Amino acid sequence: MCFTLRPCARSYDGDMATTKAARSEARLATLIADRLTELMIGTAEIRHAGLDPATVRAFASGEKTPQRIDVQRRLARLLGWKDDAIRGILAGREPVTLDDAEVAGTAEQLTRRVAELESQLAELQAAFAEVQRRRAR
């Protein structure tokens, strides 16, 4: 039971946690807005990252905070941060950017993966064409 003369520990801790979370969320919004400006990221890049531009604007203004891990990762990658940067910022840490070697490595991985997917697509298209040809007989 809480008394009016002294706040109970639970409500005090909750208020402190809420204040700390609000500060972390406001800091995150500022960092996102600054990074978007610094990198001159536009709508096309945001869409290419699989994010909605209006949602990213809401993150940058502090209206919303990214909660889903997949959104946090996509946003972090868009901003050139490591995948867990958003969680780190919300926990009070500084964002960690990808260095050039990591970016180059990621680009190489993506290039290889695209080539693999293109090869698989070609195989599937050939198989589909074969099925259609057999059905036409």
Inside any domain, residue 2: no
Inside any domain, residue 5: no
Q: Is the dihedral of CA 6, 9, 11, 15 positive or negative?
A: positive
Same domain? 33 vs 84: yes
C-alpha distance from residue 27 to each of 20, 56, 89, 120 (Å): 10, 15, 8, 44
Do 65 and 59 contact (CB within 8 A), yes or no? yes
One-letter identity of residue 112: R
Inside any domain, residue 43: yes
What residue has token string 């260095």?
99
Domain range for 16: 10-98
Mean pLDDT confidence for 108-137 = 92
Per-residue pLDDT for 10 more than 60? Answer: no
Same domain? 38 vs 93: yes
Same domain? 64 vs 109: no
Same domain? 43 vs 86: yes
Same domain? 112 vs 65: no
Instruction: Give the model confidence (pLDDT) of 69-79 as tens digits.
Output: 999 999 999 99
Same domain? 89 vs 107: no
Inside any domain, residue 108: yes
Inside any domain, residue 1: no
* Number of domains observed in the structure of the chain: 2
Per-residue pLDDT for 105 more than 90? Answer: no
Same domain? 119 vs 85: no
Instruction: Give the model confidence (pLDDT) of 22-65 as tens digits.
Output: 899 999 999 999 999 999 999 999 999 999 999 999 999 999 99
Q: Could you tell me which residue, 104 or 24, shows the higher pLDDT? A: 24
Same domain? 108 vs 132: yes
pLDDT-derived band of residue 11, with 50, 70 and 90 as boundaries?
very low
Q: Which helix (H) or strand (E) holds 122?
A: helix 100-136
Q: Which of 137, 33, 119 is nearest to 75 (CA)?
A: 33
d(CA 98, CA 2): 48
Same domain? 92 vs 40: yes
Mean pLDDT confidence for 68-90 = 94
Same domain? 116 vs 79: no
